[in-house]
């Protein structure tokens, strides 16, 4: 084994701004409280592509007893030239109990007070976007009352 271990690098890929609807509170389950947050619309841009977030996706959240929200978000991006990208984004979000309570009420909070990270997977039939399926990506998120800002980096 080499004495010098090279850490992987991150390269910025793109940003998505996603408008969301009010959460549907399904209720208490054995693993926590189930919530479904509909994805209404949005935009994305970066790495030579841009377009819109199509309506119809959602974030199926499980909010555990310890306050950690397990995120399972699925939605579709459409580039300005009509190419489709399916996104499945698994992540977690947590903050102090006070900040979490404000988030759950839909109140604005300072994004720096919230840990919001994800690991997205992309699928597309567009050959020029196949690079999205050939790498691992990580993401950060910022939750606002009516939208979410997601930033994605390619792990090199």
Give the model's pLDDT for residue 125.
98
In 3D space, the residue among 146, 155, 154, 140 whose CA is nearest the CA of residue 46 turns out to be 154
Give the model's pLDDT for residue 100.
87
Sorting pLDDT into bands at 50, 70 and 90, what band is 25? Answer: very high
Angle value at C-alpha 95, between 140 and 69, nearest 5 degrees: 70
Digit-coded pLDDT (tens) for 119-147: 999 999 999 999 999 999 999 999 998 89
pTM for the whole structure: 0.93
Residue 2 lies in a domain: no
Residue 24 lies in a domain: yes
Residue 129 lies in a domain: yes
Residue 80 lies in a domain: yes
Residue 66 lies in a domain: yes
Q: Which domain holds residue 139?
A: 10-155
Residue 1 lies in a domain: no
Give the model's pLDDT for residue 103.
84
- Mean pLDDT value of segment 53-57: 98
- Mean pLDDT value of segment 43-48: 97
Rounded CA separation 4/143 (Å):
38
Sorting pLDDT into bands at 50, 70 and 90, what band is 111? Answer: very high
Give the model's pLDDT for residue 3.
73
Q: Structural domain tally of the chain?
A: 1
pLDDT surpasses 70 at 1: no
Rounded CA separation 17/45 (Å):
9
CATH number at residue 60: 2.40.160.20
Give the model's pLDDT for residue 78.
98
Residue 145 lies in a domain: yes
Structure-token pair, residue 101: 């309570």
Give the model's pLDDT for residue 70.
98
Give the model's pLDDT for residue 104.
79
Residue 5 lies in a domain: no
């Amino acid at each position: 084994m080499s004495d010098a271990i090279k850490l992987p690098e991150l390269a910025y890929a793109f940003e998505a701004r996603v408008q969301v609807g009010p959460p549907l509170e399904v209720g208490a389950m054995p693993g926590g409280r189930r919530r479904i947050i509909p994805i209404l619309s949005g935009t994305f841009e970066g790495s030579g592509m841009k377009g819109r977030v199509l309506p119809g996706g959602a974030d199926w959240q499980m909010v555990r007893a310890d306050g950690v929200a397990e995120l399972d978000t699925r939605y579709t991006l459409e580039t300005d030239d009509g190419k489709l990208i399916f996104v499945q984004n698994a992540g977690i979000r947590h903050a102090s109990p006070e900040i979490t309570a404000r988030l759950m009420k839909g109140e604005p909070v300072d994004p720096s007070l919230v840990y919001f990270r994800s690991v997205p997977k992309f699928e597309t039939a567009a050959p020029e976007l196949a690079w999205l399926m050939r790498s691992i990506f990580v993401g950060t998120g910022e939750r606002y009352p009516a939208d979410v800002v997601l930033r994605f980096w390619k792990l090199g």
